[in-house]
Amino acid sequence: MSNVVESKKLGEKLSFEYLERNRFGLMVLFILLVGCFAGIAVGLGALTQVFSLIILAFTTMTALSMMLAVAPIRAIVYTSGIAIAADLIIILVNLF
């Protein structure tokens, strides 16, 4: 019985309604993650690669623009996820 209650709580916390209620805390987390990962990616060599720099600038600015425009949380989560994924890919490519 307790597993059902715990899974319901976890499912509720991962829902977009819950995220919408806590949007400002989530936006702070995304601003920090997107900004730091983009800075690290640029610092590790994306500054010398035009294509990598274009990808980083586009994805990062899209995510930050969604937050500034107070877009629906679904759009913020998706654009931030894409920006963080692009940052991590560029970081890994430049490390190896």
* Res. 3 pLDDT band, cuts 50 70 90: low
- Boundaries of every domain in the chain: 22-95
Question: Which pTM value belongs to this model?
Answer: 0.80
Question: Over the stretch 37-81, which tens digit does the pLDDT of each residue have?
Answer: 999 999 887 778 888 899 999 999 999 999 999 889 999 999 999
**pLDDT surpassing 90 at residue 95:** no
Per-residue buried b or exposed e for 13-46, using 16+ beta carbons within 10 Å of the residue's own CB: eeeeeebeeebeebbeebeebbeebbeebbeeeb
